[in-house]
Structure 1
Amino acid sequence: MSELFDRTIGAVVGAAVGDALGGATETYLPEEIRERWGGWVEGIVEPYHPDWRTRRPTAPFHKGDGHVTDDTLMTRMLIEVYCDKRDHLDAYDVAERLVPRLLTERVWVPELETETVLLQRLALAEKYLSLRLRWAHADPREAGVGNAVNCGAAMYAAPVGLVNAADPEAAYAEAIEVTGAHQSSFGREAAGVMAAATAAAMIPGTVAEDVVTVALRLARDGTRAAIEAVAEAAAGQDHWTDAISTGALRDAVRPFDLVAEGYRDRGLAAHRPSRLHSIEELPIALGFLLIADGDWEGTVLGAVNYGRDADSIATMGGALAGALGGAAAVRGDLVDAVAAASRMDLAAPARELAAVTVEIRRRDAERRADVERAFAALAGGAVAGATGTAGGGAA
Structure 2
Amino acid sequence: MTVLLDKSTGALVGAAVGDALGGATETALPEEIRARYGGWVDGIAPPFHADWATARPLAPYHKGDGHITDDTLVTHALVRVYAAKRDHLDAFDVADLLVADLTERVVFIPDMEREAVAFHRLAAAERWLVTRLRHAHADPREAGVGNVVNCGAAMYMAPVGVVNAGDPASAYAEAIEVAGAHQHSFGREAAGVFAAAVAAAMTAGATVDDVVSAALEVAHDGTRAAIAAVSKEAREHTDWRGALGRLRAAMAPFDTVGDDYRNPGLGARRPSRLHAIEELPVALGLLLVAGGDYREAVLGAVNYGRDADSTATMAGAIAGALGGAAAVPAQWSSAVAAASRADLAEPARVLAEVAAEVFALDRARFARRERRFGDLA
TM-score (norm 1): 0.95
- Whether the aligned pair in 1 keeps the contact of 2:252 and 2:258 (CA below 8 Å) is no
Alignment of 1:1-395 (within 5 A): 1-244=1-244, 247-379=245-377
Distance 2:56 2:326 in 1: 37
| 1:100, distance to aligned residue in structure 2 (A) | 1.0
AA aligned to 1:145 is V
| 1:55, distance to aligned residue in structure 2 (A) | 1.3
Distance 1:91 1:8 in 2: 23
SS at match of 2:180: helix
| 1:362-390 residue CA offsets vs partner (Å, 9 max, x unmatched) | 011001100110111122xxxxxxxxxxx
AA aligned to 1:172 is Y
Unaligned runs of 5+ in 1: 380-395
Distance 1:38 1:266 in 2: 27
SS at match of 1:141: coil
Distance 1:55 1:42 in 2: 24
| 1:50, distance to aligned residue in structure 2 (A) | 1.5
| 1:130-182 residue CA offsets vs partner (Å, 9 max, x unmatched) | 00000000000010000000000110011000000000010000000000000
RMSD: 0.6
| 1:266, distance to aligned residue in structure 2 (A) | 2.3
SS at match of 1:108: strand
- Whether the aligned pair in 1 keeps the contact of 2:25 and 2:303 (CA below 8 Å) is yes
AA aligned to 2:310 is S
| 1:298-357 residue CA offsets vs partner (Å, 9 max, x unmatched) | 110000000000000000000000000000000000011000000011000000110111
AA aligned to 2:42 is E
SS at match of 2:24: helix
| 1:205, distance to aligned residue in structure 2 (A) | 1.3
| 1:26-60 residue CA offsets vs partner (Å, 9 max, x unmatched) | 00000000000000101111111111111111111
| 1:260-279 residue CA offsets vs partner (Å, 9 max, x unmatched) | 21111121110100000000
| 1:69, distance to aligned residue in structure 2 (A) | 0.4
Distance 1:103 1:158 in 2: 21
- Whether the aligned pair in 1 keeps the contact of 2:25 and 2:33 (CA below 8 Å) is yes
Distance 1:143 1:128 in 2: 9
Distance 2:295 2:198 in 1: 17
Distance 1:50 1:310 in 2: 18
Distance 1:44 1:335 in 2: 10
Between the aligned residues of both structures, percent identity stands at 65
SS at match of 1:181: coil
Unaligned runs of 5+ in 2: none
Distance 2:168 2:150 in 1: 22
Distance 1:298 1:52 in 2: 27
Deviates further, 54-63 or 184-193: 54-63
Distance 2:67 2:54 in 1: 18
Post-superposition, which runs of at least 4 consecutive aligned residues in structure 1 deviate over 3 A? none
Corresponding residue number in structure 2 for 1:385: none
Distance 1:354 1:160 in 2: 11
- Whether the aligned pair in 1 keeps the contact of 2:186 and 2:222 (CA below 8 Å) is yes
TM-score (norm 2): 0.99
Distance 2:72 2:367 in 1: 36
| 1:81-100 residue CA offsets vs partner (Å, 9 max, x unmatched) | 00011000000000000001
Distance 1:202 1:260 in 2: 33
| 1:224-257 residue CA offsets vs partner (Å, 9 max, x unmatched) | 000000001101112111112xx10000000000
Distance 2:152 2:262 in 1: 16
Distance 2:331 2:92 in 1: 39
Distance 1:335 1:72 in 2: 13
AA aligned to 1:182 is H
Distance 1:94 1:238 in 2: 40
